[in-house]
Amino acid sequence: MDRVNAFARRVPTWVVYSLGLVPLAFLVWGAVFGGLGPDPVKAIERGLGERGLQFLLASLAITPLRRLGLNMIRFRRALGLLSFLYIVLHLTAWIWLDMGLRWEEMAADLVKRPYVILGMLGFLVMVPLAITSSNAAIRRMGALAWGKLHRLAYVAILSGILHFVLISKVWTAEIIVYSALAAGLLGARLLPRARPRQTVRA
């Protein structure tokens, strides 16, 4: 673990951002050169949403991994912002490419379709997380208030998983894995930390 942590400390965060944009580059390439199958709009929409979910899961994994001795805390902000970027692009693809800016239909879906409601809820709770992701925001809010606000990440991942499940309609192996990871990570984060034993002096 010490070697891995030492290596992680030498990796600049821009590397994480750069690697995080690789899936987006592949999607753009596929959209331009026709490599996304018979329904490219759905492929773009699903690909963006899935990447957003993956990065959100990765950001939530930072704290449990730290408890196990693997310290990747310096990459948590990058993973969270990459997740938000992909979710924003996912929403944009739905509004522009899928729904064709038909605002009345979208408004109706926001009322009657549970998967749309959950997806929008997940996006909305991520907005304040992205806005307050900077060091300046932490200083202004204070660490305690900032930490409480960022518990909205739990709401975001639950909404995202349910959104993904309802859209897919079938319990595939992929959905089961994502759901199990989300449940495990949320459980690990919500468990109280073990307190160090105090030595009783005679």
What is the percent of the chain with per-residue pLDDT over 90, rounded to a whole number? 55
User: Residue 92 in contact with residue 41, Cβ under 8 Å?
Assistant: no
Q: Using CA atoms in the order 160, 183, 165, 148, what is the torsion angle rounded to 10 degrees?
A: -20
C-alpha neighbours within 13 Å on the C-beta side of residue 71: 8
Query: Does residue 202 carry a pLDDT above 50?
Result: no
How do residues 3-45 score in pLDDT, each as one tens digit? 888 877 888 899 999 999 999 999 999 998 888 888 899 999 9
Q: In the structure encoding, which two tokens stand for residue 126, read together?
A: 């991520």
**pTM score above 0.85:** yes
User: Residue 129 in contact with residue 150, Cβ under 8 Å?
Assistant: yes
pLDDT value at residue 2: 76
**Alpha carbons 92 and 87: distance in angstroms, whole number:** 8
Chain position carrying tokens 């773009």: 44
User: Which range is least confidently modeled, 19-33, 59-73, 91-105?
Assistant: 59-73
Long-range contacts: 164-173, Cβ < 8 Å, 24+?
164/49, 164/50, 164/53, 166/114, 166/115, 166/118, 167/46, 167/115
